Chain A
């Protein structure tokens, strides 16, 4: 199929780590991305990973890629209330078109 799938909701306590998971379908994807969307706003690029990498760390963000299982995850360390948003994973397919996951709504509880 063509779906990029994510779990819909995640709640964590402030200060804990959040892990948002994504499964994608196209094994030829070159890059995989994580975007953040706050209410009523556009998408903010958080980070991306090249398909020949299995991990990328960027400050509080850690991206893990399991290419064999087509599984991508985003870990946010020391989650803050400002991290509450919807997080989308996206894969870049042939023709450089993006296909987005269903989005995971992260709620951070103070």
Chain B
């Protein structure tokens, strides 16, 4: 299957700082990437859909000014958590679809980024 990477895998930051998380599709071009958030022992919650060359679509309740998404190329989407606070500590996972795959809806997931805000 397709490979999606994330960087960094772990980040610890001070409250009030901004953190950027990268999501890359390694062997395919992804016009659409998704960002999820997962709290301990809970399911994944879709935060936003990232579309290459256009604005991201945010789910209800997700602050777009706090979680900035940029999808500047067909292989890279970034999520920036601005002015991070301890309640933003979570596991952030991205996924991407390979438009050339027969099951075009299948999403391939990155390994996740664990964010801890002190």
Chain A binding surface SS class: strand
Q: Point out the residues of chain B lying under 8 angstroms from A43, CB to CB.
A: 44, 93, 95, 109
Q: Give the A-B pair count, Cβ closer than 8 A.
A: 54
A30 and B103 alpha carbons, distance in the complex (Å): 10
Q: Point out the residues of chain B lying under 8 angstroms from A101, CB to CB.
A: 43
Q: Check if B106 sits within 8 Å of A48, measured CB to CB.
A: yes
Q: Point out the residues of chain B lying under 8 angstroms from A31, CB to CB.
A: 103, 105-106
Q: Which residue of B lies closest to A95 (CB)?
A: B49
A33 sits at the interface (CB 8 A): yes
Q: Check if A42 sits within 8 Å of B111, measured CB to CB.
A: yes
B108 sits at the interface (CB 8 A): yes
Q: Point out the residues of chain A lying under 8 angstroms from B24, CB to CB.
A: none
The winner among A35, A98, A102 for most chain B CB atoms within 10 A is A98
Interface residues of B (CB under 8 A from A): 1, 4, 6, 32, 34, 42-44, 46, 49, 93, 95, 97, 103-112, 114
Interface residues of A (CB under 8 A from B): 30-31, 33, 35, 40-45, 48, 50, 88, 92, 95-103
